[in-house]
Chains A and B, each alone.
Chain A
């Protein structure tokens, strides 16, 4: 088992004909992902990379049975793309787009409330269940199928952590990049719950960063509900307050946003903190030996 995506995933790509959409669709297909449809308004009826293209998500879903969407829609129209997918009843939307205005996302969250769509991202690398399905832009080859769940706010830092795990022979059940924005569709809390319920996940690696209070919310869940071990690292201990560190959400605006505060909360909740970002793999190995 795994979470969010697996070999039953029938992927639809929003923005499939764009340059990024094309590039990554090819790589998803090469990884073995079942890409069943693409959507680009105005290009319906054509075929791209051997995948049928539709004008609307509704049509694409009814004709192909797509059950997850990967989005490469430019920031100004990305919110609209998420709404269209949700309206059509798409169960999972993975939004790669970086730079969506926060107030657009506020509207999206309001609309998604009470609906069945799960949004992952925006501004994220996506989701991969190694050996089964890659719905994202991560490098497939560094992953290895196994029993450690990975959840992170970062892209390339996650690649580094995953390759640490893989080189130690530690495989992953699913790796989820929840993204670097201030208002992610899916939070650490949501993913930890899914990993806790997933039979094949034995331990979880959580990579947080400065800004917001998502790590503290995760800590609460870890102390109350999680029985599986959680290894954690929070990036940005050296980040100056008030400065946006690349990610829209990575800005320290209060003491709770600081890395040491977050690591303290996670540690107190029972998570095992990796001493450095380069030792997440080794720390996980030690934890697994104890389990």
Chain B
């Protein structure tokens, strides 16, 4: 789960990490007030779940509360298109107004989980303010890493090593160590999957400051952080994905095609989407209904397809294991009863209780295209979609 920059900075501040003075605003009048409080000259930052805001015009410096009001008014209520968003962009519902800092050095600092060592790793670089992926590709030697033993946590010597590596000197060594220790504490205490300060700056008066911050959270750990869970801004998410979650379909990802897919299992769902593309079509979504033995999620999946105006045809591909095919089949039959289904549906069933499931579909009298295996299913659904004009 992602959160906004202003929320991330509030969490950093709670852990003793220095952040610029400022506040969030939902209206231009509020923005003016905040700018006046911090003394006029300010940076207005659009709060969106996407990077690359600077180049997209989502970060602007102003010199007066009036200018803050005007700039906030220009940003609020619009959609920001950055290299990381689609062409439709993301809505700007809030702006962060911060004091403008005089920066002398830009650094990079982050913590994430390293898959190879299966431990947290703290990464630091003097190449701050840039995409770390780019730094890793072009100048990997500029990234310093310190692997943390989770049994004892980040140790002061690791902080010192990284601080010296970042070129810090004097009092800033101790400051750096404290900041890193605090960031590690935050990372583990609130179950982050990524804690990134980019850039971490040294100001003209020699202070360390988290100028931008990004915190991502482990979805699997949200059950023990209800307060964090509440920070999610649903406006920033894809509406179809929010709708899916509200209907109990947790594993739904919107894609850019026109063929709806309902599959059980994430790997199989990805493979089905790949196969559709191989057959010349494009999936409109990834949808793993997971293991279920009730009909509700099947019916809701069909509701999703009906609500999605792009859909020209649907492929259902179920390999019953823990999930039973007859229950899924009943769900499909009920979906047909409950709603008008305006597109052809290709169904491929296999696995646990297959015969019973086929019987259910036959008895229900619903019209569908039967597929023998999932290659056959992909071929047939691509064909079916081509026959539909939209």
B10-18, B316-324, B382-390 - the one binding chain A: B316-324
B352 contacts chain A at the CB level, 8 A cutoff: yes
Which of B136, B223, B270, B319 sits near A159, CB closer than 8 Å?
B319
* Cβ < 8 Å to B, chain A residues 99-114: 99-107, 109-110
Residues of chain B with a CB closer than 8 A to A246's CB: 251, 265-267, 269-270, 286, 288
How long is the Cα–Cα vector from A235 to B269 in the complex, in angstroms?
9
| Nearest CB of A to B195, in Å | 12
Residue of B nearest to A106 (CB): B150
Contact in complex: A158, B267 (CB < 8 Å): yes
Q: Of the candidates B113, B115, B268, which one forms a contact with A157 in the assembled complex, judged by CB atoms under 8 Å apart?
A: B268
Chain A interface size, under 10 / 10 to 19 / 20 to 34 / 35 or more: 35 or more
**Cα distance, A214 to B255, chains bound together (Å):** 26
Give B352-378 as 1s and 0s: 1 = Cβ < 8 Å from A's Cβ atoms: 100000000000000000000111001
Q: Is B226 engaged at the interface, CB distance under 8 Å to the other chain?
A: no
Q: Which of A160, A163, A238 meets B283, CB within 8 Å? A: A238
Q: Does B69 contact A (CB under 8 A)?
A: no
CB distance from A235 to the nearest CB of B (A): 4
How many angstroms from the CA of A101 to the CA of B221 in the assembled complex? 5
B151 contact set on A, CB distance < 8 A: 107, 110
Candidate in A103, A105, A236 with the most chain B CB atoms within 10 angstroms: A103
Q: A110-B149, A243-B253, A246-B286 are in contact. Are A278 and B375 (CB under 8 A)?
A: yes
List which A205-246 residues lie within 8 A (CB) of chain B.
Answer: 207, 209-210, 212-214, 233, 235-240, 242-246
B219 touches A238 (CB 8 A): no
Q: Mark A45-65, 1 if CB is under 8 A from B, else 0.
A: 000000000000000000000
Q: Give the residue among A104, A109, A153, A160 with the most B Cβ atoms within 10 A.
A: A160
Are A106 and B265 in contact, with the CB atoms below 8 A?
no
Interface string of A7-19 (1 = CB under 8 A from B): 0000000000000
Q: Given contacts A110-B151, A137-B321, A139-B352, are A180 and B266 in contact (CB under 8 A)?
A: yes
Given contacts A138-B321, A245-B269, A278-B374, contact A76 B150 (CB under 8 A): no
Which residue in chain A gives the minimum CB-CB distance to B279? A276
Which of B219, B223, B266 has a CB less than 8 Å from the CB of A76?
B223
Name the residue in A245, A250, A278 with the highest tally of chain B Cβ atoms < 10 Å from its Cβ. A278
Q: Quick one: closest B residue to A20, CB to CB? A: B322
Residue pair B265, A154 in contact (C-beta under 8 Å): yes
Binds A, one of B26-34, B36-44, B116-124, B332-340: B116-124
Q: Which of B244-276 contact A (CB under 8 A)?
A: 251, 253, 255, 263-271, 273-276
A173 near B: Cβ within 8 Å?
Answer: no
Query: Shortest beta-carbon distance, B357 to chain A, in Å?
Result: 14
B268 touches A156 (CB 8 A): yes
The answer to whether the Cβ of B218 comes within 8 Å of any Cβ in the partner chain is yes
User: Which residues of chain A have C-beta atoms less than 8 A from B218's C-beta?
Assistant: 101-103
How many inter-chain contacts with C-beta < 8 Å in the A-B complex? 171
Q: A106-B113, A106-B119, A139-B321 are in contact. Are A154 and B274 (CB under 8 A)?
A: no
Q: Flag whether A248 is at the interface (Cβ < 8 A).
A: yes
Smallest distance from the beta carbon of B239 to chain A beta carbons, Å?
Answer: 15
Does A182 sit within 8 A of B, measured CB to CB? yes
CB distance from A114 to the nearest CB of B (A): 12
Judge if A183 is at the interface, Cβ distance under 8 Å. Answer: yes
A182 contact set on B, CB distance < 8 A: 113, 115
Instruction: Tell whether, in the assembled complex, residue A183 and residue B188 are in contact, meaning their CB atoms are under 8 Å apart.
Output: no
Task: Give the CA-CA distance A103 to B222 in the complex, in Å.
Answer: 12
B268: chain A residues at CB < 8 Å are 154-157, 159-160, 235
Q: Is B138 among interface residues, defined by CB-CB distance under 8 A?
A: no
Encode contact with B along A169-188: 1 for CB under 8 Å, 0 otherwise: 00000000000101100000
Closest chain-A Cβ to B45's Cβ sits at a distance in Å of 21
Which A-chain residue is minimally distant from B274 (CB atoms)? A237
- For B117, the closest partner residue in chain A by CB is A109
- B223 contacts A139, C-beta separation under 8 Å: no
CB of B191 within 8 A of chain A?
Answer: yes
Contact present for B118 and A238 (CB under 8 Å) = no
Q: Is A152 in contact with chain B by the CB < 8 A criterion?
A: yes
Say whether A121 faces chain B, with CB atoms less than 8 Å apart: no
Determine how close the nearest CB of chain B comes to the CB of A234; give it in whole angstroms.
9
Task: Name the residue on A nearest B250 (C-beta).
Answer: A246
Asked whether any CB of chain B lies closer than 8 Å to the CB of A254, the reply is yes
Given contacts A109-B118, A160-B374, A213-B116, contact A102 B271 (CB under 8 A): no
Residues of A within 8 A of B283 (CB): 238
Indicate if the CB atoms of B220 and A160 lie closer than 8 Å: no
With beta carbons under 8 angstroms apart, the residue of B223, B251, B271 that contacts A277 is B271
Shortest distance between the CB of B341 and any CB in chain A (Å): 24
Contacts of A20 in B (CB 8 A): 322
| A239 CA / B286 CA spacing, docked (Å) | 8
Please determine whether A106 and B118 come into contact, CB atoms closer than 8 angstroms: yes
Whether a CB of chain B sits under 8 angstroms from the CB of A149 is no
- Residues of A within 8 Å of B320, CB to CB, are 139
Q: Specify which of B136, B220, B275, B351 is in contact with A102 (CB 8 Å cutoff).
A: B220
Q: How far is the CA of A275 from the CA of B120 in the complex (A)?
A: 37
B350 near A: Cβ within 8 Å? yes
15 A-B residue pairs with Cβ-Cβ distance under 8 Å, sorted by A, are A101-B224, A103-B113, A103-B221, A106-B119, A137-B321, A153-B267, A154-B267, A157-B267, A182-B113, A235-B271, A238-B270, A238-B273, A239-B286, A245-B286, A247-B266
Q: When A and B form their complex, which 8 residue pairs have the shortest distance between CB atoms, in order from nearest?
A: A154-B267, A246-B266, A156-B265, A278-B375, A101-B221, A157-B267, A277-B271, A235-B270
Instruction: Please give the residue numbers on chain A whose beta carbons come within 8 Å of chain B beta carbons, in ascending order.
Output: 20, 24, 75-76, 99-107, 109-110, 125, 137-139, 142, 152-160, 163, 180, 182-183, 207, 209-210, 212-214, 233, 235-240, 242-248, 250, 254-255, 259, 275-279
Known A-B contacts: A157-B265, A245-B266. Give 5 more (CB < 8 A).
A154-B267, A207-B267, A235-B274, A259-B274, A278-B275
